[in-house]
Structure 1
Amino acid sequence: MTKRRSEESGQAPIRVWGLSDFHLHFATMPAELSFLTPAHQPPWLTNARKVARNWAEKVGPGDIVLIPGDASSARNHSEVQRDLAWLSKRRCGAMVLSPGNHDLWFGRMAGVSRILRPGQFAVDGNAVDLGPLIVCGARSVPTPDDPIPIDPKSEQVAETAYAKLKLALAEAISLRDAAGEPKQIAVLWHHPPFDRWGRPDPVVALMKDAGVTLCVFGHVHTKAQWQTVPQGELDGIRFACVAADSLGFRPRKLLELSPAVEADPA
């Protein structure tokens, strides 16, 4: 049997977008907005409106959106419900979330999976097969040489993060091998995988060994950071910062892939 090319089958290519760090928190709206005029509403709400407008202009119904962390500032599953509902109204074929340092609601995968809406996926030590693209990821940590440690047990935390990413990459490789056809692997890793001097974090070697082709991250929120954080290709991996404020709250186009098509009889 032979596979038809997507253009011959009339199927549009699947575009892959990235956007992170919009810090939704709709659970706080009643208290905050009861005494604030529209001009003084919380910044995250203003930013959410920008995201909604730009998302509608760019993302198609069959596209994939990668969200590497800090989509929500909710503290638990109860608070995050309205944020997930808001995300579910954004047009796309699939969206994949991974945890950031502000995603306190993002606990064990079993619990997270139960509250996701249709078309929403999450990765933290696992991988998902989205047709032409396999997406995996884990809760990230700052690079070892980060000048501002965020946890007194940072070494132990880092070891846990690396172990989870290894599990995610192993599952991604298994899914790719089982597919019997070439598929790209993308990694969601919230923190930039480089230290303050631009040297790669140990996770970069793990990604290289797994044949990863794309790594998306966010977390950085100043112009100086956006200008100095390494991006582009290294060791066959494309690194892209998708922190929303660095992009004017516009989804960043990362890939354009041919959709899977049915096989024709020989």
Structure 2
Amino acid sequence: MRILAIADPHLSRKTPKPMTIFGPGWAGHPDVFFQRWCETVQPDDLVLIPGDISWAMHFRDALLDLQDIADLPGIKVISRGNHDYWWPAITRLRAELPAGIYALQNDAIRFDDTVICGTRGWVTPGTEGFKPEDEKIYLREVERLRLTLEAARKLEGKQVLVMLHYPLTNAAFEPNGFTRLIEEYRPAGVVYGHLHGVNQDKLIRHWCGIPLHFVAADALKFVPRVLGKTEASADSAL
């Protein structure tokens, strides 16, 4: 089973939103997103989607976008992004998700010998404009990362992949609660998105030897990135 990742689909079937207002890199969206997914992903592949899945404000509307994703090839694991306002209580979400999509929240899921875990993340201390209300959310997300990493450890896989929506650090790459947990639990890799229109050459690709995979859809030109394979299929290439 191959493992791929792509963040920030930003779908909006209920009320179409032209993404080109965010830059020319979004030209052809969402058709190009679906086309390149189908050109890249096989039915038995595992695709990680770390957040900003739908612009919908209500779960019923987001289900239209989730169904579109479900209809694509592959098995999907989703986690929440900062724009996923539609995300309901996890019990309801899992009860109504289309077949073939799995949602993470404070827990983990195992495929073969690979465990997937994750949380949204947040801006970290030292970020420009960091406010007291950000501190509260940041600390809550640090605790959620700890919970999901601990859940992953209990599943006893050979490798763990972490899904974050936000990058692991601020622009100065300063240590924080997220990085300390990554150092402690030593996952095989971290995937994240959220950033758009950035110079990828200025992003760090490792933290203490742990690969950081930037997989925002527009940065990938909408081609899901192949990370490796589950351990049951072949040696990891993460």
Taking structure 1 as the reference length, the TM-score comes to: 0.80
- Residue aligned with 1:46, SS: coil
2:44 is aligned to 62
Are residue 165 (structure 1) and residue 145 (structure 2) matched? Answer: yes
1:80 is aligned to 62
**Runs of 4+ in structure 1 over 6 Å off:** none
Where does 1:185-204 land on structure 2 (aligned, <5 Å)? 185-204=160-179
C-alpha distance in structure 2 between counterparts of 1:67 and 1:53, whole Å: 16
In structure 1, stretches of 5+ residues that fail to align are 1-13, 33-40, 177-181, 262-266
Q: Which protein is bigger by CA-based radius of gyration?
A: 1
Are residue 127 (structure 1) and residue 108 (structure 2) matched? Answer: yes
Query: Percent identical across equivalent pairs?
Result: 29
CA contact (8 A) 2:120 2:166 kept: no
Offset at 1:258? 4.0
Which piece of structure 1 moves more, 17-26 or 195-204?
Answer: 195-204
Count of residues paired in the alignment: 229
Offset at 1:109? 1.5
Aligned-residue RMSD, C-alpha: 2.0
Offset at 1:45? 9.0
CA contact (8 A) 2:80 2:119 kept: yes
CA-to-partner distance for each residue in 1:85-131, whole Å, 9 max, x for gaps? 10011101x21111111000113221221221111111121111122
2:23 is aligned to none
| Counterpart AA for 1:217 | Y
Offset at 1:228? 1.5
1:254 is aligned to 227
Where does 1:100-179 land on structure 2 (aligned, <5 Å)? 100-149=81-130, 152-176=132-156
| Counterpart AA for 1:51 | F
CA contact (8 A) 2:118 2:148 kept: yes
Are residue 227 (structure 1) and residue 227 (structure 2) matched? Answer: no
CA contact (8 A) 1:66 1:96 kept: yes
C-alpha distance in structure 2 between counterparts of 1:251 and 1:238, whole Å: 17
